[in-house]
Amino acid sequence: MTTPQPPASAPDQPLDLVGIGIGPFNLSLAALAHPLDDLRTAFYDQNPTFQWHPGLLIDGTTLQVPYLADLVTLADPTSPWTFLNYLKARERLYPFYFSERQHIHRAEYDAYCRWVSENLGGLHFNHHIDAVRWNPERVLFEIDYTQLDPEGEADALGRAYTRNLVLGVGTAPYIPEPLRPLAEAPGVPVVHSADYLDNRAKLLDAEHITVIGSGQSGAEVFLDLLRNRPPGREKLHWLARSPAFAPMEYSKLGLEHFTPDYTHYFRTLPEAVRDQVLPQQWQLHQGIDAKTIADIHDELYRRSLHGGWPDTVLTPGVFVRTAGRVGATRVELHLEHTQQGTRSRLTTDAVILATGYRERRVDTLLAALDPYVRRDSNGRPRIDEHHRLVLDPSVKGAIHVQNAETHTHGVGTPDLGLAAWRSTVILNAITGKTTYPQPQRTAFTTFGLEPRPQPRLQHHTSENRHTIPRQLPVH
């Protein structure tokens, strides 16, 4: 390891905002912070470049939100970082215009975000965050990081000082407990759908394949496998815990659950009510796009045109009780049907877990700050209307979170359509002024009987009520 580098920001000239993680949400925040000359920011990510679900960029798959849900448009349509400006820079506006698309290809969204990340200043890839501390003497957060070389090895150490933090570390693939030992064992063909494309060729060579999970990812993986297996010899199982391979709620009024209005309403509900409501809303975000369902049925129907049925089994309402190896590489799944109460065994050559994602734990990263974090009755961080962790009053800085507040802000938390709005809420709170005006109403639906008060624009503490000096951005 080389000699530690000079700090990215000195204590006497701290940053105003440090973002940890550069996924779509913190990239949105960085893009909307870009024109604010009085705001000194830096964003860090341990990956060498921007990456967005690379294992699921299957040919032909599309976003489930319209292209207006890019990084900035719903907050600032005049921003240079809009998807439309990306198309203009690539001389693709006319082809897009004639394509009449609302939902763009997932690979195109990934390319758009990468274009923003490559042209936007203040983003530091190949930086691993080691620790975050609150320094009460300096009234600042201290962030220790390791700069990585192109091979991902430690190259240099650094430290940054900041008044405010934003955690955007994303989510991690979720593997059910019964299958965890197999997924972690070398040579066993049990992979999460997040790694599907990296393992696709090997999976297609398997004699029999089982897909577990009934959401959009499971449907897309099943359809891709189905299209690439010989008719009559597909040998595919698709299993799901949910009671049906159900379509996602995509009616126009249903989509109003992904508005700031519903977020404000949900946040005001009692904790016990929020915990009861969330599982009931699974079809708002865990169902399957209607077109994907139609494509799967069309493909199955096409394979039955000359008599016979395709060699596929699609069974909802099933969960894996236990799992183990059979021989060197085969897997045996012990299944139970929820409604029937019956049990069965399935032997397969490969398993793809389309079992979703969970909020990434930051306990280790924020270990030094844990005593300051206020928690609810279930031990989860309390988060206020400005997406800030509720901290002990002795901490004068603010820690905002992105996509870690489903339990307080509702089903729209991971939705790309709320990214730009949440970024503006955070920026307004940090600057202490209406940098980006907030919409007074965003839904035709009135959620609740009592009028909803607008969130108050205020700083975390009186100590932060200052005019941010004009500084050059840190690069």
Which domain CATH number covers 333? Answer: 3.50.50.60
Write down the H helix ranges in 347-441: 406-409, 419-431
Kindly state whether residues 190 and 337 are assigned to the same domain.
Answer: yes
Are 158 and 178 contained in the same domain?
A: no
More confident residue, 467 or 442: 442
**Residue 35, in any domain of the structure:** yes
Q: Say whether both 366 and 351 belong to one domain.
A: no
Q: What is the pLDDT of residues 287-345, one digit of tens each?
A: 999 999 999 999 999 999 988 999 999 999 999 999 999 987 899 999 999 999 999 99
pLDDT band, residue 285 (cuts 50/70/90): confident
pLDDT for 210-243, tens place per residue?
999 999 999 999 999 999 999 999 999 999 999 9
Q: Coil, strand, or helix at residue 196?
A: helix
Q: What's the rounded Cα separation, in Å, for the pair 22 and 26?
A: 5
Evaluate whether residue 263 is within a structural domain: no
195 and 87 both lie in a single domain: no
Chosen domain end from 357, 382, 405: 357
Residue 1 reports pLDDT greater than 90: no
Question: Residues 39-66: what's their mean pLDDT?
Answer: 95
Same domain as 305, residue 199:
yes
Q: What share of the chain is helix, strand, coil (3-state, %, to 5)?
A: 30, 20, 50
Lowest-confidence segment of 19-33, 179-193, 254-268 by average pLDDT: 179-193
pTM of the full predicted structure?
0.91
Pick the more confident residue, 55 or 11: 55
Per-residue pLDDT at 8: 58
Query: At 98, which amino acid appears?
Result: F
Domain check: are 93 and 186 in the same one?
no
Q: Is residue 145 part of a domain?
A: yes
User: What does the pLDDT read at residue 170?
Assistant: 85
Checking if the pLDDT of 408 tops 60, the result is yes
Residue 312 in any domain: the answer is yes
Neighbours of 119 (CB within 10 A): 13
Number of separate domains in the chain: 2
pLDDT of residue 290: 93
Last-in-domain residue among 328, 357, 386: 357
**Do 155 and 30 share a structural domain?**
yes
Q: Could you tell me the CA-to-CA distances from 247 to 35, 214, 251 in Å, in that order?
A: 40, 10, 11
Q: Specify whether 316 is located in the same domain as 335.
A: yes
For residue 93, give Cα distances in angstroms to 85, 97, 98, 100, 417: 8, 6, 9, 11, 22
CB 159, CB 7: distance < 8 Å: yes
238 with 225: CB under 8 angstroms? no
* pLDDT tens figures, 63-122: 999 999 999 999 999 999 999 999 999 999 999 999 999 999 999 999 999 999 999 999
Verify that 145 and 180 share a domain, yes or no: no
Q: Judge whether 23 lies within some domain.
A: yes
Regarding whether 166 and 117 lie in a shared domain, the answer is yes
Instruction: Let me know whether 338 and 453 are in one domain.
Output: no
Question: Residues 116, 244: one domain?
Answer: no
Domain range for 343 is 173-248+286-357
